[in-house]
């Protein structure tokens, strides 16, 4: 092959990789026209912001625990060690970074987008849910004007997909259930072979909690004002979470959390 051809091929490869990076593949397969023409483009338009937030979280985490700023460490502790166990160390931060890399890769894979005009799971201001195979879009997604909320929730859903995990109590500064979560959860979750299954049944860890990843990415990407806004979705004792899904919680939501991360 001539030198010119090699150069030409290299340029094509480079452009191809670049397009792959900037145009994440979230596409509709075998879906209706409304999904293809209205819903799918809107979901696709949100993914670059989610990816940006995930990338910023990875930039912070790649510094390691000792390299993070005091504000970043505080954010990490608030989200990943709400029970104040003191268990956060370099190894834990590395696993979180590794999980973020898996989430990042999930954004590049093809996934089926399904619109759910009539579905019980789409209560309140919920934007999406996932059964791992498909990303289901709730009607409120089309009314939601806050792109940051859409992007944050999309990270939540892609964490389910990438790590194959279920929900733990959603992040809220006033949630007493979130406050009980520990970095690695119950010791039984550490057991060989059966550990990961037990972990998903007990669901008391932050290490595999979709909302921990979504919220950390939101906070370190400097979206504090949006974060505060999401706290106003309380409806009596049932609190609307960040992904708009009602989740029972003993605490009534009122306070805005006091910590924030400086840019
Ligand atoms: Zn979830």
In tens, the pLDDT along 186-208 reads 999 989 999 999 999 999 999 99
Q: How far does CA 116 lie from the centroid of its chain?
A: 21
- Answer for the pair 135, 126: CB distance below 8 angstroms, yes or no: no
At 170, list the tokens: 């959603």
The rounded Å distance from CA 3 to ligand 1 centre is: 51
The rounded Å distance from CA 245 to ligand 1 centre is: 8
Place of tokens 């919680």: 249
> Can you tell me the distance from the alpha carbon of 119 to that of 126, in angstroms, rounded to the nearest whole number?
11
In tens, the pLDDT along 44-53 reads 999 999 999 9
The span from the first CA to the last CA of the chain, in angstroms, equals 50
pLDDT band at 228 (very low <50, low <70, confident <90, very high): low
- Number of domains comprising the chain: 1
The rounded Å distance from CA 9 to ligand 1 centre is: 42
Report the half-sphere exposure of 246 (CA within 13 A, side-chain side).
12
Top-confidence residue, 164 or 25: 164
Percent of the chain with pLDDT over 90: 57
Identify which of 241, 85, 245 has the alpha carbon closest to the alpha carbon of residue 174: 241
Residue 73 is part of which domain span?
Answer: 26-257
The rounded Å distance from CA 242 to ligand 1 centre is: 10
The rounded Å distance from CA 30 to ligand 1 centre is: 25
Please give the DSSP secondary-structure letter assigned to residue 114.
E
At 92, list the tokens: 């834990």
pLDDT (average), residues 173-198: 92
pLDDT at position 10 = 60
For the chain, what is the mean pLDDT?
80
CA-angle at 40, arms to 38 and 42, nearest 5°? 70
> Can you tell me the distance from the alpha carbon of 207 to that of 96, in angstroms, rounded to the nearest whole number?
7
The rounded Å distance from CA 156 to ligand 1 centre is: 6
The rounded Å distance from CA 112 to ligand 1 centre is: 17
pLDDT at position 175 = 84
- Kindly state whether residue 12 falls inside one of the protein's structural domains: no
- Kindly state whether residue 7 falls inside one of the protein's structural domains: no
What backbone torsions phi and psi does residue 165 show, to the nearest 5 degrees?
A: -130, 160
At 185, list the tokens: 């959860």
The rounded Å distance from CA 11 to ligand 1 centre is: 40
The rounded Å distance from CA 16 to ligand 1 centre is: 33
- Kindly state whether residue 15 falls inside one of the protein's structural domains: no
The rounded Å distance from CA 121 to ligand 1 centre is: 11
- Kindly state whether residue 5 falls inside one of the protein's structural domains: no
> Can you tell me the distance from the alpha carbon of 164 to that of 143, in angstroms, rounded to the nearest whole number?
29
CATH number assigned to the domain comprising residue 57: 3.40.390.10
Q: Which neighbouring-strand residues pair with 247?
A: 239
pLDDT higher than threshold 80 for residue 23: no
The rounded Å distance from CA 66 to ligand 1 centre is: 30
Instruction: Evaluate if pTM is beyond 0.85.
Output: no
In tens, the pLDDT along 81-133 reads 999 999 999 999 999 999 999 999 999 998 889 999 988 889 888 999 999 99
pLDDT at position 203 = 93
pLDDT (average), residues 23-51: 79
The rounded Å distance from CA 173 to ligand 1 centre is: 17
- Answer for the pair 57, 220: CB distance below 8 angstroms, yes or no: yes
The rounded Å distance from CA 221 to ligand 1 centre is: 21
- Kindly state whether residue 163 falls inside one of the protein's structural domains: yes
> Can you tell me the distance from the alpha carbon of 141 to that of 146, in angstroms, rounded to the nearest whole number?
10
> What distances in angstroms separate CA 230 from CA 11, 171, 173, one per listed residue?
44, 11, 11
Query: Rg (Cα) of the chain, in Å, rounded?
Result: 19
């Amino acid at each position: 092959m001539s030198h010119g051809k090699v150069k030409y091929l290299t340029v094509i490869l480079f452009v191809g990789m670049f397009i792959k990076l900037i145009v994440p593949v979230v596409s509709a397969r075998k879906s209706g026209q409304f999904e293809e023409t209205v819903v799918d483009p809107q979901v696709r338009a949100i993914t670059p912001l989610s990816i940006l937030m995930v990338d910023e979280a990875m930039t912070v985490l790649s510094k390691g625990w000792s390299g993070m700023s005091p504000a970043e460490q505080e954010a990490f502790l608030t989200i990943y060690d709400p029970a104040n166990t003191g268990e956060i160390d370099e190894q834990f931060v590395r696993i979180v970074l590794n999980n973020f890399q898996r989430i990042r890769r999930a954004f590049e894979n093809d996934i089926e987008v399904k619109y759910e005009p009539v579905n019980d799971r789409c209560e309140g201001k919920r934007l999406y849910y996932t059964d791992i195979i498909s990303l289901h879009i709730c009607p409120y997604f089309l009314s939601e004007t806050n792109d940051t909320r859409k992007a944050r929730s999309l990270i939540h859903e892609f964490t389910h997909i990438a790590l194959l995990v279920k929900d733990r109590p959603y992040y809220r500064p006033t949630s007493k259930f979130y406050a009980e979560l520990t970095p690695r959860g119950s010791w039984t979750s550490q057991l060989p072979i059966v550990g990961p299954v037990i972990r998903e049944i007990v669901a008391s860890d932050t290490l595999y909690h979709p909302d921990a990843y979504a919220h950390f990415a939101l906070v370190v990407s400097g979206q504090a004002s949006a974060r505060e806004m999401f706290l106003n979705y309380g409806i009596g004792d049932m609190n609307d979470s960040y992904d708009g899904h009602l989740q029972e919680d003993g605490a009534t939501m009122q306070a805005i959390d006091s910590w924030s991360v400086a840019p």
